[in-house]
Amino acid sequence: MFSTSPCGVCGKQQATPSPSGRTDVLHKRLWRLWMNAVADSRLTGIYAILGHEGALERLDACLEVGIRVVQYRGKAAATLEMARALAQRCRSAGALLIVNDDLELALAAGAGGLHLGQEDAGGADLAAVRRRLGPAILGLSTHDAEQARRAAELGADYVGAGCVFPTRSKERVIEIGVEGLRRIVAASPLPVVAIGGIDANNVREVRASGAAMAAVIGAIAGAPDARAAVRALTDAWDG
């Protein structure tokens, strides 16, 4: 059930959980904790959200610049072929592919995780979703501090918080502003991914709120040069 690897501090051999045919609950929990620790190291910086059109080209631009978390939000146009291609490229680059709102697609594509909106989560058996995902990442959208606290109890690994700034990516959004984002960050025991109207001009304000990541849609999808747009975002975040 365990393989050994040297400890980076003492040099001694330590047990690292790995999956097996056994179904022991404790071992499963240890395996998920270990996988999440690996994923958590990538839950920082820019979180790119890609639509279906031009997804592979934009993904390549993101990975070349160093993005380590990408969400596929194909909506009605989403296909298993595209999801699998995105997941494979992400794995090869050491990045996570998160699929939006479609558990079956995420599982079939071998994605690194699933993101559910508040509306989708409300009608889902999240305990069953969490079991089926296994060690994969589960993200939940939130709009206030109470929803953020509840997300941890429901088995989420991170929360999305927004809409922070005005956006054209979604209709009928709840705008929380930077102050609302700060309240969610303060209340959440999980990493917070800010979303909504984020671009290179305001991403530093998002980072100053304490958010772990900034999810970006329009600033990448609407850019004539996706690579330059992603570079501007990462430079602003790091600056």
Please give the structure tokens belonging to residue 85. Answer: 């291609």
Domain 44-238: CATH class, spelled out? alpha beta
Q: What is the pLDDT of residues 52-86, one digit of tens each?
A: 999 999 999 999 999 999 999 999 999 999 999 99
- Give the whole-angstrom CA distance, residue 141 versus residue 160: 4
CB 83 within 8 Å of CB 108: yes
Catalytic residue among 32, 58, 73, 182: 73
Active site annotation includes 73 = yes
Tokens encoding 217: 């849609």
Q: How confident is the model at residue 169 (pLDDT cuts 50, 70, 90)?
A: confident
Residue ranges per structural domain of the chain: 1-41, 44-238
Rounded Cα distance between 37 and 34, Å, is 5
pLDDT of residue 41: 75
| Tens digit of each residue's pLDDT (9 = 90 or more) over 95-136 | 999 999 999 999 999 999 999 998 877 767 999 999 999 999
Among 109, 162, 160, 113, CA closest to 134: 113
Looking at 141, 182, 188, 207, which residue is catalytic? 141
* 141 noted as active-site residue: yes
Active-site entry in 29, 131, 168, 170? 170
Residue 32: predicted pLDDT: 52
Whether 28 is a known active-site residue: answer no
pLDDT tens-digit series, residues 191-235: 999 999 999 999 999 999 999 999 999 999 999 999 999 999 999
Query: Three-state SS across the chain?
Result: CEEEEECCCCCCEEEEECCCCCCCHHHHHHHHHHHHHHHHCCCCEEEEEECCCCHHHHHHHHHHHCCCEEEECCHHHCCHHHHHHHHHHHHHCCCEEEEECCHHHHHHHCCCEEEECHHHHHCCCHHHHHHHHCCCEEEEEECCHHHHHHHHHCCCCEEEEECCCCCCCCCCCCCCHHHHHHHHHHHCCCCEEEECCCCCCCHHHHHHCCCCEEEECHHHHCCCCHHHHHHHHHHHHHC
